[in-house]
Structure 1
Amino acid sequence: MLFGTKQNNRDLARNSHGTALIGDFRNDENQILSQLQGAFVQMHNILMTALKEDESMVPAAFSGIRAEAMAQGIKPQNGVFQAVRRVLRLHYQWMVMHDFLPAFVDAHVLKDIVAKFAVGGLPKPFTKDSPVMPIEFSGAACSFGHATVQNDPLTIGAQTLSIEDSRKLPHHNVFRDRMTLELASDQQMARLMHVPEIAATKELTTHGISKTPLWYYCLHEAESHGGKLGPVGCTIVAGTLLRLLSLDPDSLLCSAHDFKPWTTLGASKAGNFSLGHMLACVEPGRDAIAHADDLITG
């Protein structure tokens, strides 16, 4: 995959207008996301180099994959590319399931949700007809950044916004999911999930708000779960991500074999694998990528 520019060989590949050549341009909106995108591109290229040098590793990449997928999508001329694609995807899915989710969702709730998916079930209120990316997830439960909005004046470039502009931002976040997106309150979501409700906080009731906005409720709920998402937040966030995996018959969740991260990609001997492990593999390996000069743009 293209990576690097003549001005910066550690940057994402870019066209003549400076636009990053990636699938989702939003991943170039801030430095951290841009660097993460670049790390995965480099990891792909490291894998391409390794598997081209030793194609005996290719069959291991397809362990547990459906027979019809092999017949329909894996062609001899692009077997290495498909193998790399699958290996990297499985490692990413492993990080989501075993590192990312456990880091911020309640362990007991997550265990129950995983158990339901393991037997083909779905946690309430998910149904087989539910959207794969429900608005309750994209518009509320995953929006942890709302908690960082301050009432102080904001500076954008050389322009300083007045206090009265800036004070509208928290109010906008409070009402956005109810007014704009028309989401249910989290007390209503708790009833749908058959879990105990948490009453609106004093900060809300003193302003006449009796029904907690969904995103705010997830944060409030986390206070009683060691700082991790509780039953409502965990069910929406983990349920959405795990359902996406359950709908892909070639995913880590549906694989016919017990996949373990590869130690050659930085996983520990005990099988642990995290973003830190991956980056530790990318750092020394990116300078040995085959055809690196041919991948640079600009």
Structure 2
Amino acid sequence: MSPNSPLRIRDIPLEQAAVLRRIHQLAALGSWLRQAMQASTPGSADSTLMFGQVSEVDRDRDLTEIHARLDRMPANWVDQARAAGQSGRAWTVELLLPAPRPATGRRNIKRVLDDTRQLADMAAITVAREHRLATDGVTAEPEPAAAAQLRRNMEAIWTRVAATATSIGMDRKQRARVFNAASSDVNERVESYLHDSLDDLNAQWSSYTIPTIAASVRRSLGSLRRTDRSADTPTVVSDAEQPPTPKALIERARDILNREAANSFEAGTDIDAAIAAAMPAARARGWDTPADVHGGESAVIEAYPDAGPDP
């Protein structure tokens, strides 16, 4: 698995898994206590007792999360464990963890690579989730506002990739190597997501729909432009290779998904043919994937105004 890829609990060190499990357990307990408290008679002894228990559990979880972050636990892993516990999802070593968010402030090729890989993962999870929704009979996006925010986040990240690649003077060979890696990442991640549950896919997808992603990118772009104005920054080369757009990455993800679906269909047809030969009454089954993906259009570097310095 490539760096900055999503992981599962079984892939991380046991010490980190134990901390995340503790956060999950406390979040689940707190959620259960709140539900029980709401069902009790207001002002009763039981209600008062549970109120104190909720406060104690929340305090314990907060302290556990603080220690986890001090130990450099990725913040979105902590968020994922808490959200899974609060929503009632069972703890399992197969629980999907989002890719750690790239650190800000790095004006180098690693910054470009991390952002490009994040775009690849966002495209893959978008297509895999919509495919799962479609196979479950959901034909319209159930969270249109969040989906629109994810597209804005992808466009913002694309803009930073393009701007940073120009700012640091990446040559054609470097651009090709980094941007081609994004296409390979899309292939890998679509295939890894295809068999995940809708709950797992929704959790990973939701981590990419928060407005703070685009806001953080805009701040870093402002800082990047101010630095470029005070330095001898390379000019944009008109024929320089640009990063793959969000729309292009989503289309690639759809191509990979359709290929995997076709392979599954062919394998299923071969099995059905064998069954039919032995049991003529057996009925063949097909797999249709009518999911539709609306990819965000590419953004230009000027799409985001100077938003001031990084906090």
* TM-score, scaled to structure 1: 0.24
Higher relative contact order (CA 8 A, sep 6+): 1
Higher helix share: 2
Q: With structure 2 as the length reference, what TM-score do the two structures score?
A: 0.23
